[in-house]
Structure 1
Amino acid sequence: MTRPPALSRKQRWSIARASRRKIALWVGAVSAGKTMVSLLALFIAIRHTKGRGLIVIVGKTLQTIERNVIGEMQKPELFGRLAKQVKHTTGSNTAIILGRVVHLVGANDARSEEKIRGSTIELAYVDEATLVPEAFWAMLLTRLRVAGARLLATTNPGSSQHWLRVKYILDADAQNMIVFHFTMHDNPLYFEGGDPGPSYIADMEASFRKSKLFFDRFIRGLWTNAEGAIYDGWDPAEHVIPWEQLPPMYRLLGVGMDFGTQHATSVILLGLGYDRKLYAIDELRIESDAQTHRQAPSVQAKAIADWLKINHLPEGFLR
């Protein structure tokens, strides 16, 4: 049998520390080894459950759970003899892991939270947490209602304004949460003679170097703005100025609009400054309704019309 890869000191440390908080999140770059180490932590957590509630594995769909979680846990080259303790029939919404029944729950829209209403959950694992609807995550936390209940999760970073970062990661202590940040340089596979080895990191870095946004997200494992970004090279430190410091505008050019009924509507007002630079002066965002997933076009149109009538410049006029 292939010997499982040795863990780095940081990986071992994350497993030990994860058990000290109710919520543990492994986040970072692609190929950083965070999934493997989080699944090892899941094996350990399952072994220590007391049978006081359900064990659930959550992903965007059942298929992604089977591919990203169950399939990985069944690899002896990663988990040795533990891999044989993972039993699952493709298409089934349950698995048997270490002799315990584990429920597999797809969470691909806001209504998915209905799947766990009324449940008592002792242990939950969430694959790619940024892809799970916020309402589902919130409901999942309310279901962890037995002594010692825990939530383990992994994700690649998303927008810096993503609800997971703003409401949970930035407030981790208050949420009884610990967050582990990993990059590819934390994966011992690339530094101990493994395949593909260090050349893989160099190739990946070269592939994304032309895009600062995706280099920061996929290589450095940082939360950066893709959703809502004006362009690919968006850097808030370089491209954002306080609204009060907007220079005089030569003219307001118009608005760009992404009108949505199944997603949020975004309207951006564009101006041309006397310095011959373009400025995104103001933005209106109309969120979709949490229950119906839409707002009537007539309601949105009125909101946009009312918004256009208000002052959008710090001095209230063009100079």
Structure 2
Amino acid sequence: MSFSPKQQEFLQNCNHRWNIKTGATRSGKTFLDYTVIPKRILKCRGEGLIVLLGNTKGTLERNILEPMRAIWSPALVGQIGSNNTVQIFGKKCHALGADKISQVSKLQGAAFEYCYGDEITTWHEDVFQMLKSRLSCPNSRFDGTCNPGNPQHWFKKFLDSDADIYRQAYTIDDNPFLAPEFVENLKREYAGTVYYNRFILGEWAAAEGVIYQDFANSVASRDERFVWKGKELPLMAVNIGVDFGGNGSKHAFVATGILSGYSGVVLLASRRVEPSTPQALEKAFVDFCAAVHLAYRRIDHIYCDSAEQVLIRGMQIALQRSELSFAASRVSNAAKTEINDRIRLVSVLMGAGRFWYLPEAGSARDALAATLWSTKDPTKDERLDDGSTDIDTLDALEYSIERDYKRFLKARGHT
């Protein structure tokens, strides 16, 4: 394998108890570990457990084990078994998710001779605190990577401590093996957001102010850069997202057009309603669907907030009784993925010039332009949700595209 100067520097200096690489996405942090992990494991003397930790067991498999298997073969890098262990170079390793303390509690009390950590900033803090006391063998080592988060994050505080840490920080430009065009696209997609500081510059940056600043500036100046002006829409699908408002909020519908090849999205229509009865909500929903179908002659999926099953069932029945009876079977629960993952997807699409809206989606446009990061807890990245902004429409919009998250990113070579 060929290694960058930054990677070679790590190999020469990673002889501390804690060896941590932080920084930009696609900067080569994790790729180096496909070589480091086997070397560490082969040096273990059986004095304690060998443990691999990721955000979840699934992300650990996808980010670490699967690429290692492709390099070293399935004979040397096995599959995670039902007992959460995997054979790597002939040695038994425990592979666990670290997002919940319960996932790792079964290892409590055991010494760790070697531990590898993936996506550390996504872990539950209690897992990391337990880990610190478990690296108790004379030759115990920890190797780990993460993208930076908020400067107040608990892991950043550990990195700034006087523990025995070898620490490296990577920028996107530290990886000389990436195609220049890909790097430029990535920089453009994250420009103007907190993700540029974190995923491009590798900085620990606070999420603050307007979330979609570039979009908000465009709306305020009326430059119409995000307004779809094409004569035809190459639609691959039309999805409708539905969010049910709680106390003091409204219900929201957003229809989104998915462009061919997942090349982008167009917000086709949006509406906020505050009906006084379930029957009034059902009528408003059917009317919205009818208008979308009349304009685009298709409705492929309807994703609804799963918290309100009674309301969802009522809307399905209303569709069945309408001229859109075919759409009743296309109603399902929204995936409701992590909010920050949804925000990242919208940011990438906007930055890449793959996000547009039509005038009929005015409420969605206004919601995006006004959405803010919360300042309530400086240690967390949270979207402001105090009733002062239109979170209902944002949720509905995100429900309409979140299931295609990976497809949208793959369309431009992201991981």
TM range (shorter): 0.5 to 0.7
Residue 31 of structure 1 aligns to which amino acid in structure 2? R
Identity of aligned residues (%): 28
Distance in 1 (CA, whole Å) between partners of 2:74 and 2:176 is: 21
Distance in 1 (CA, whole Å) between partners of 2:212 and 2:26 is: 23
Q: SS state of the match for residue 94, structure 2? A: strand
TM-fit CA distance, 1:118 = 1.1
C-alpha RMSD of matched pairs (Å):
2.5
TM-fit CA distance, 1:202 = 0.6
Counterpart residue number, 1:64: 59
Aligned residue pair count: 220
Give the TM-score, by structure 2 length: 0.50
Cα gap change, 1:161 to 1:285, in 2 (>3 Å)? closer
In 2, are the aligned partners of 1:7 and 1:188 still within 8 Å (CA)?
Answer: no
- Higher mean Cα deviation, 31-40 or 123-132? 31-40
In 1, are the aligned partners of 2:152 and 2:378 still within 8 Å (CA)?
Answer: no
Residue 211 of structure 2 aligns to which amino acid in structure 1? D
Structure with greater helix share of residues: 2
Q: SS state of the match for residue 52, structure 2? A: strand
Cα gap change, 1:15 to 1:85, in 2 (>3 Å)? same
1:123-156 superposed Cα distances (whole Å, 9 cap, x missing partner): 0001100011111101011111111101111101
In 1, are the aligned partners of 2:96 and 2:104 still within 8 Å (CA)?
Answer: no
TM-fit CA distance, 1:92 = 5.6
Q: Report runs of 4+ in structure 1 exceeding 6 Å deviation.
A: none
Matching of residue 9 in structure 1 with residue 10 in structure 2: no
Q: SS state of the match for residue 207, structure 1? A: helix
Matching of residue 183 in structure 1 with residue 171 in structure 2: yes
Matching of residue 117 in structure 1 with residue 112 in structure 2: no
- Structure 2 residue corresponding to 1:34, chosen from 29, 34, 38: 29
Matching of residue 230 in structure 1 with residue 209 in structure 2: yes
TM-fit CA distance, 1:115 = 2.7
Counterpart residue number, 2:180: 198
Structure 2: which 5+ runs fail to align?
214-374, 380-415
Alignment of 1:119-268 (within 5 A): 119-166=110-157, 168-171=158-161, 174-190=162-178, 197-211=179-193, 213-226=194-207, 229-232=208-211
1:149-201 superposed Cα distances (whole Å, 9 cap, x missing partner): 011111011111100002x1112xx21011111122111312xxxxxx11110
Distance in 1 (CA, whole Å) between partners of 2:73 and 2:175 is: 21
Counterpart residue number, 1:252: none
Cα gap change, 1:186 to 1:91, in 2 (>3 Å)? farther
Structure 1: which 5+ runs fail to align?
191-196, 235-282, 288-319
Q: SS state of the match for residue 215, structure 1? A: helix
Residue 65 of structure 2 aligns to which amino acid in structure 1? I
Counterpart residue number, 1:54: 49
TM-fit CA distance, 1:285 = 5.7
In 2, are the aligned partners of 1:113 and 1:135 still within 8 Å (CA)?
Answer: no
- Higher mean Cα deviation, 89-98 or 141-150? 89-98
TM-fit CA distance, 1:109 = 2.0
Counterpart residue number, 2:341: none
In 2, are the aligned partners of 1:66 and 1:90 still within 8 Å (CA)?
Answer: no
Cα gap change, 1:200 to 1:22, in 2 (>3 Å)? same
Matching of residue 44 in structure 1 with residue 44 in structure 2: no
